Structure formats: C-alpha cells, structure tokens
Amino acid sequence: MRGLHTRREQLWDAAGLILKRNDMGGYSVPTRGLYPYQWLWDAGFVAMGWHLIDQPRAWKELDMLLRGQWASGMLPHITFHQIVDTYFPGPDIWQSPQQNPPTSGITQPPIIATALWDLYRNTEDTATVEPQARSMFQALLRYHRWLYEARDPDKTGLVAILHPWESGMDNSPLWDGPLSRIKPVAVPTFKRRDLNHVNAAHRPLDEDYVRYIYLLICLRNGGYVEPSLYYFAPFCVVDTGYNAILLRANRDLLAMAKALGEPETEITGWIDRAEKGFQRLRDGQGGFYAGFDVRAGVPLDVPVTSKYLTLWGGAASADEALYLAREFSESLGGTSYMAATFSPVVTGFHPQRYWRGPVWAILNWMLSEGFKDYGFKSEAARLRADVLQLVETAGFYEYFDPLTGVGCGGPDFSWTAAVILKILASE
C-alpha cells in the first residue's frame, strides 16, 4: 500500500527507523561506525527527535548523557558508555578524571537545556516526569554555572571554547586564524580512525588533526584544571554561534525554573550579562563577527554561517535581524541548497569537506527557528524545505553538498533524522 503513503509519512517513518537503528539501549550513536559513542550536542537533538515518537526513550537519552557529568559540573562532549577500538581518540588518550563512565575532557555546544525544556513543555502529563525533570534542571544549572566560572572567569558575559571540537564545528574556517598561531610540538604519532569509515575528502585534514591532538594534550597536561586553562590554553576563542546556543539554552533553563518554581535570579543574571556581552561581537556594520580570538585580542571576521545563530539565541535587535536576513540571502542564496556553512564565493569554500561548506540539517533547523522567531517566514521556510528535499533525495546523511545535493560524511545519521522529525511535526 506504498502508494497511499504520503511523502511526509515516508520521511517520518524513515527518520524514526534511523533513531531506532542507532539506539544502543538508552543512548544513541550519531551513526554506526564513525561515531560509536554518545556525543553531547547530538544527544540534545536526538532527545527532541525521540520525544516525537517515544517519550520515555527521549528522557532516557538525557538521563544517560548526564551520567557522564563531572563533579565540577562540566558536561563532556563524549561519554564512552562502552569501549570499542574503532574510534580515535578514546578514553585512554583523554585520561579524564571522570571514569564511571569514562568521558572526554572537553565540552560541546550547550543545547541540552533547550532539549530539556522541549521535552518538558511537550509532555502532557508533567507530574510523571517532574522528579527527573527537576534533577536534570539542577544538573544543567551546575553545567551552566561551570561554563561561566571556567570559561568566563573575567565575567564578560560570553564564554570561551578551548578546542575547536568544543564548537561542534571542528574544522570551520573560523578556527584557521587562531590555529595558525599555534605551533604543535611533541605530538606522538597517532592513527586516525575516522578515515576507515568515510571518504577522506569529506573530513578534516591530517594537519588539522595534529592540532586537535596537540590541543587535547595541552588540556590533559593542564590536568583539566579550570579556570586556569582559560588563561593558559593555546586556543581560547569566543564563538558567536556557541554563545548564541548558550543564550537560548539559558532562556530555556529560565522557562524550566519558572515551570518548576525554582529560583530564577542566577539564570537571569547570565542572560543579562550575555546580552551585554554580545556588544563585543557587533561588527559596526549592523551585524555580528563570527567570533573573538581571546589570545590574539582580535575579532574573527569570517563569513561562516554559524554567526546567524544570533537569531536562534535572540541576541539581535529587530534592525540587526533585518540586516542579518539581507546579508544571509546575499551571501548564501546562490547555491542550489541553503545554507552552506561557509560563504560559497570566498576562497577556502569546500562543498563537501565537513564544516567548510556543506549544509547541515541541524544548522538549517536552528536557523529556521531563529528566522521564524524574528518574523522572517520565507527564509525559515526555505531552510526547512531545502533540508527536506536533500534528505528525500540523498538520504539521512551527516551533511550535504550545497551545490549538488550529494550526501556526505556518515549515512543514517541520528541528528539528521531527529530534526527531520521536528520539521515535519511543525508543518
């Protein structure tokens, strides 16, 4: 009876199937092979996707994730629930103080409070989930507190990342400047495992990996002691996209606090400070820089798409949103599929290499929500329509070539499936 299935139903069922296939019994791998563990920001999107098809399973995703939280409050970017030898760098390289379960030693975009609020406000019977929601709220409060204490010790309102992997956008051209100022020394030889799973032309280069591992070793040698790493780590960057995600997460944490009758003042303080902090990222033209290199003391004026997350975070004024909408269409509207992660008319654009050009479903979804919040309905609709089209034609890939629509990176990707469910549910 296939003919009776609408396009929507087919995509919905296929997305649900991917989440089920990538389920390891309570947590989801992003894709089989390439990423065999639980990643922090993947888990946030995945939980929101699960919630549309299996609510208890969605709560379980967050529960499993929070088992990796450090005593300091830090939420690590990878939780190694079971050890396999197909991924590098594993727990033996990170040597983190958290061993039950073992984890990496860095964090990732703080989307989890947004996921928690999404689950909570879309649960009809909130009484049943309230005890776990309350304990998760406390865990996330500790996480955000850690972010400010460890990564913004000078109280600027914006937090820094100490490794490109913390941005979740590992090889974004945004890091080229800060990384070029770093000279890796004494990096032991290592063997990448990612290239056993996917096309090398889609992945970061070896020279990027040497820097990633060098920075990992610096943080490890620093004993993961924060906030001193903020002052000594070779890479220390305020990422506009990361801070926009944190700003929205704080607004969502505040909504949780209100719903649960928990104190609000600490969270409103973070929001007020962040709104002022964004002043430092304004480019003087009406828009935003993509970041700020704390070590070099310079803004990062790089045409990466992550800077438009200021709309998702609600950091832009109405005038700025208008400017951003225009800049966005002019800079990125020329490809067959929006939104390339890096301006396609700039040297260094690569339509298939990880974060140097491809379209990512999660970014499209966040941007679409941001544009919608500011009343830009056609931009929002285009971002959603393009990603639906890409997935329908190419499959649920990790990312897509914005010129040809070819699927790149890992196949059957959990967060791609999860945001397709979010998009379909909102139509």
Give me the residue whose beta carbon is nearest to ligand DGY.
165
CB closer to ligand DGY, 170 vs 392: 170
In the complex, least distance from residue 165 CB atom to ligand DGY, rounded to whole angstroms:
5
How far apart are the C-alpha atoms of 313 and 47, rounded to whole Å?
20
> With binding defined as CB under 6 A, does residue 211 bind ligand DGY?
no
How many residues bind to ligand DGY according to rule CB under 6 A?
4
CB closer to ligand DGY, 40 vs 324: 40
Query: Residue 174 corresponds to which tokens in the numbers above?
Result: 């945004």
CB closer to ligand DGY, 83 vs 298: 83
Burial class from Cβ neighbours inside 10 Å (0-12, 13-18, 19+) for residue 21 reads middle
CB closer to ligand DGY, 103 vs 310: 103
Interactions with ligand DGY, residue window 27-86 (CB under 6 A)? 77
Catalytic residue among 170, 266, 327, 373: 170
Query: Terminal CA-to-CA distance of the chain, rounded, Å?
Result: 24
CB closer to ligand DGY, 213 vs 324: 213
What is the distance, to the nearest Å, from the Cα of residue 34 to the centroid of all Cα atoms in its chain?
17
In the complex, least distance from residue 102 CB atom to ligand DGY, rounded to whole angstroms:
15
In the complex, least distance from residue 170 CB atom to ligand DGY, rounded to whole angstroms:
5
In the complex, least distance from residue 233 CB atom to ligand DGY, rounded to whole angstroms:
17
Give the DSSP H/E element, type plus range, for residue 292. strand 291-293
In the complex, least distance from residue 19 CB atom to ligand DGY, rounded to whole angstroms:
20
CB closer to ligand DGY, 23 vs 42: 42
Contact in structure between 251 and 259 (CB atoms under 8 Å) = no
How far apart are the C-alpha atoms of 315 and 288, rounded to whole Å?
10
Show the binding pattern over residues 75-114: x = contacts ligand DGY (CB under 6 A), - = does not: --x-------------------------------------
In the complex, least distance from residue 164 CB atom to ligand DGY, rounded to whole angstroms:
9
Interactions with ligand DGY, residue window 357-416 (CB under 6 A)? none
Contact in structure between 271 and 250 (CB atoms under 8 Å) = yes
CB closer to ligand DGY, 234 vs 370: 234
CB closer to ligand DGY, 77 vs 372: 77
CB atoms within 10 A of CB 192: 15
Show the binding pattern over residues 327-346: x = contacts ligand DGY (CB under 6 A), - = does not: --------------------
How far apart are the C-alpha atoms of 268 and 248, rounded to whole Å?
12
Query: Residue 39 corresponds to which tokens in the numbers above?
Result: 């990643």
In the complex, least distance from residue 278 CB atom to ligand DGY, rounded to whole angstroms:
26
State the virtual CA torsion across 250, 317, 283, 246 in degrees, nearest 10.
10
What is the distance, to the nearest Å, from the Cα of residue 197 to the centroid of all Cα atoms in its chain?
22
At 202, phi and psi to the nearest 5? -95, -10
How far apart are the C-alpha atoms of 14 and 11, rounded to whole Å?
5
Residue found by looking up tokens 């009758």 in the block: 261
Query: Residue 339 corresponds to which tokens in the numbers above?
Result: 């939104």
Instruction: Provide the 8-state DSSP code for 335.
Output: S
What is the distance, to the nearest Å, from the Cα of residue 33 to the centroid of all Cα atoms in its chain?
20
Instruction: Provide the 8-state DSSP code for 189.
Output: P
Instruction: Provide the 8-state DSSP code for 173.
Output: G
Show the binding pattern over residues 164-203: x = contacts ligand DGY (CB under 6 A), - = does not: -x----x-----------------------x---------
Show the binding pattern over residues 141-170: x = contacts ligand DGY (CB under 6 A), - = does not: ------------------------x----x
> Known catalytic residue: 266?
no
In the complex, least distance from residue 79 CB atom to ligand DGY, rounded to whole angstroms:
12
3-state DSSP call for residue 399? strand
Rg (Cα) of the chain, in Å, rounded?
Answer: 20
How far apart are the C-alpha atoms of 187 and 105, rounded to whole Å?
18
CB closer to ligand DGY, 77 vs 248: 77
Strand segments, DSSP code E, in 73-169 are 78-79
In the complex, least distance from residue 400 CB atom to ligand DGY, rounded to whole angstroms:
17
> Known catalytic residue: 170?
yes
Contact residues toward ligand DGY (CB under 6 A) are 77, 165, 170, 194
Q: Any idea which residues carry the catalytic annotation?
A: 170, 398
